Structure 1
Amino acid sequence: MNVKYLLPVMMLLCASAGCAQQMTLTDRMATKETKALFKNLHKLSEKHTLFGHQHATEYGKGWSGEANRSDVKSVVGDHPGVIGVDISGLSGRSPAEIAKTKEQLRKNVTDTYNRGGVTTVAWHFSNPVSGGAFYWKDSISLPAVKYIIPGGEAHGKYKAILDDVAGWAKSLKGKNGELVPVIFRPFHEFDGDWFWWGRSHCTSDEFKALWKFTVSYLRDTAGVHNFIYAFSPDNIFDTEEKYTERYPGNEWVDMLGMDNYGDMGRYGKYNLDAAVKKLQIVSAFAEKNRKLAAFTETGLESLVNPNWWNDVLLKVMKSGKIKMSYVLVWRNDISSPTHYYAPYPGHPNIPDFKKFYDDPYTLFEKDLKNIYKE
Structure 2
Amino acid sequence: MNKTIVLSAIALLCFFAAFAQNGVRGNGPIDKKATVETKALYSNLKKLSKKHTLFGHQHATEYGHGWFGGENRSDVKSVTGAHPAVIGVDFSGLSGLPPAEIEKNKAALKKNIIDTYNRGGVTTVAWHFSNPVAKGGFYWVDSLSLPAVKYIIPGGKAHDQYKEILDNVASLLKDLKGNDGKLVPVIFRPYHEFDGEWFWWGKPHCTTEEFTTLWRFTVSYLRDSSNVHNVIYAFSPDNKFNTEAEFLERYPGDEWVDMVGMDNYGDMGRDNRYNLEAATRKLTIVSDYAKKTGKLAAFTETGLESIPNPNWWTDVLLKVMKSNEMELSYVLVWRNDSKSPTHYYAPYPGHSSVPNFLKFYQDPFTLFEKDLSGIYK
Counterpart for residue 286 of structure 1 = 290
> CA separation in 2, counterparts of 1:296 and 1:255?
10
Unaligned runs of 5+ in 1: 1-15
Aligned to 2:223: 219
Amino acid in structure 2 at the alignment position of 1:333: D
Structure-2 separation of matches of 1:269 and 1:338:
18
Distance in 2 (alpha carbons) for counterparts of 1:121 and 1:329: 13
Q: Does 1:90 align with 2:97?
A: no
Q: Is the 8 A contact 1:230 1:255 kept in 2?
A: yes
Q: Does 1:159 align with 2:170?
A: no
Please say if residues 51 and 328 of structure 1, whose CA atoms lie closer than 8 Å, have aligned partners that are also in contact.
yes
Deviation at 1:289, TM superposition (A): 1.0
* CA shift for structure 1 position 337: 1.1
Q: Which residue identity is paired with 2:215?
A: W
CA RMSD of aligned residues (A): 1.2
Q: Supply the distance in 1 between the matched residues of 2:29 and 2:116 (Cα, whole angstroms).
A: 22
**Equivalent residue in structure 2 for 1:81, among 74, 79, 85:** 85
With normalisation by structure 1, the TM-score equals 0.94
Distance 2:264 2:340 in 1: 22
SS in 2 for 1:158: helix
> Residue 121 of structure 2 aligns with which residue?
117
Give a deviation string over 1:285-337, Cα, whole Å, max 9, x none.
Answer: 11111100000000000000010000000000000121100000000000111
**Letter paired with 1:357:** Y
Residue 309 of structure 1: aligned partner: 313
Q: Show structure 1 runs of 4+ deviating over 6 A.
A: none
CA distance in 2, matches of 1:308, 1:216: 40
The 5 A counterparts of 1:1-374 are 18=19, 21=23, 23-373=27-377
Q: What amino acid is the match of 1:194?
A: W
Structure 1, 22-31 or 310-319: larger mean CA deviation: 22-31
Instruction: Name the aligned partner's letter for residue 103 of structure 2.
Output: A
Contact 1:20-1:39 at 8 Å conserved across structures: no
SS at the partner of 1:301? Answer: coil
Q: In the aligned structure 2, how far is the partner of 1:281 from the partner of 1:269?
A: 21
SS at match of 1:119: strand
Structure 2 unaligned segments of length 5 or more: list them. Answer: 1-15
| Cα shift readout 1:185-224 (whole Å, capped 9, x = no counterpart) | 0000000000000000000000000000000000000010
What SS does structure 2 have at the residue aligned with 1:165? helix
Q: Percent identity?
A: 71
Distance in structure 1 (CA, Å) of the matches to 2:267 and 2:180? 43
1:20: how far off? 7.6
- Measured in 1, the distance between the counterparts of 2:310 and 2:28 equals 41
In 2, Cα distance between equivalents of 1:150 and 1:20: 33
Paired residue total:
358
Query: What is the Cα deviation at residue 348 of structure 1?
Result: 1.1
**How far did 1:138 drift?**
0.6
CA apart distance, 1:65: 1.0
**What TM-score results when the alignment is normalised by the length of structure 2?**
0.94
